[in-house]
């Protein structure tokens, strides 16, 4: 099984048993996708929704969809489209929602460089659980979806093109 690097694993005090179960499920499902010939790039760019659903089935059970986001459940799937505001030609992340629900506070002066990613509108699906964001490249979870490599690559590409 592909294990996350030790420096990416939050301390036991920070992670709940549920987020550990998600981490293990991500690794198991990722191994299965690799065995079927899919790379991390394949999973993150076209198979991410199926991957997230398979992880949830492994971590929560086959009826996961009936419990997603319900009272007392601190996990759900996220997709790029649900976090973006579009008014006329102005496209931005929903910064109020991101701060209120996900604790993602980005200063107004830093927002334009991240809003450039929103304008590209890269489609991605991942899992949020216990204040961590999980996808195939981050089985240990990260504290901000903008730290997922999927979004970091867009950020790096935009910075490279701006130079």
pLDDT digits (tens, 9 = 90+) for 130-152: 888 999 999 999 999 999 999 98
Q: Which residues pair with 126 in a beta bridge?
A: 78
Name the residue with higher pLDDT: 91 or 67: 91
Question: Per residue in 28-78, pLDDT tens?
Answer: 999 999 999 999 999 999 999 999 999 999 988 888 777 666 655 567 888
54: nearest Cα among 31, 81, 82: 31
Tokens 């459940």 label which residue? 73
Other beta carbons within 10 Å of 51: 24
113 falls within a domain: yes
Task: Specify the number of domains making up the chain.
Answer: 1
53 falls within a domain: yes
7 falls within a domain: no
10 falls within a domain: no
Considering the chain, what percentage of its residues have pLDDT values greater than 90?
45
Name the residue with higher pLDDT: 161 or 60: 60
4 falls within a domain: no
Distance CA 149, CA 143 (A): 13
**30-36 — which CB contacts under 8 Å span 24+ positions?**
30/2, 30/136, 30/139, 31/1, 31/2, 33/136, 34/2
Handedness of CA 98, 102, 108, 110 (dihedral sign): negative
The whole domain housing 72 covers: 16-162
Question: Is the CB of residue 77 less than 8 Å from the CB of residue 127?
Answer: yes
How much is the pTM?
Answer: 0.82
41 falls within a domain: yes
Burial of 37 (0-12, 13-18, 19+ CB in 10 A): exposed
Q: Distance from CA of residue 129 to its chain's centroid?
A: 10
| Helical segments of the chain, H only | 17-35, 40-44, 48-59, 95-102, 111-120, 149-162
**CA-based angle 46:52:53, to the nearest 5?**
110
């Amino acid at each position: 099984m592909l294990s996350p690097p030790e420096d990416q694993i939050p301390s036991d005090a920070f992670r709940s048993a549920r987020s550990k179960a998600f981490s293990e499920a991500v690794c198991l499902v990722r191994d299965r996708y690799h065995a079927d010939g899919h790379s991390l790039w394949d999973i993150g760019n076209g198979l991410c929704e199926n991957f997230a659903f398979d992880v949830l089935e492994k971590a929560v059970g086959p009826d996961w969809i009936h419990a997603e986001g319900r009272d007392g459940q601190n996990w759900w799937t996220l997709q790029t489209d649900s976090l973006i505001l579009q008014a006329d030609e102005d496209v931005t992340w929903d910064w109020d929602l991101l701060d209120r629900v996900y604790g993602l506070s980005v200063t107004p002066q830093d927002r334009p460089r991240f809003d450039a990613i929103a304008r590209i509108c890269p489609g991605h699906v991942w899992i949020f659980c216990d204040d961590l964001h999980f996808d195939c490249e981050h089985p240990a979870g990260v504290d901000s979806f903008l730290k997922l490599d999927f979004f970091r690559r867009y950020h790096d590409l935009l910075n490279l093109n701006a130079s």
